[in-house]
Amino acid sequence: MHSANPRSTTRRPTNLSIDAELLTIAKEVGVNISRSAEVGIQEAVKNKLRERWLQENKEALLSSNAFVEENGLPLEKFRSF
């Protein structure tokens, strides 16, 4: 899997289309556009990978939850709380 950490990879120039008013305000207040875009893209990638993992493991998660509902936690008798 590729790293979603922008600081650990080589940077490449790219073209982005950004709302003109938002871009103007961001520049006026000193927002680093490239870094902010990286952070946003990193978050979007993280969310998509999470969604993919949940979908790929949906059956196992449902099965595990059903087992616990029917039988309780496997090591529950050893819990101290």
Distance CA 35, CA 32 (A): 6
- Model confidence at 2, in pLDDT bands (50, 70, 90)? low
Each residue's pLDDT tens digit, 12-48: 999 999 999 999 999 999 999 999 999 999 999 999 9
Asked if residue 5 has pLDDT above 80, the reply is: no
pTM for the full predicted model: 0.70
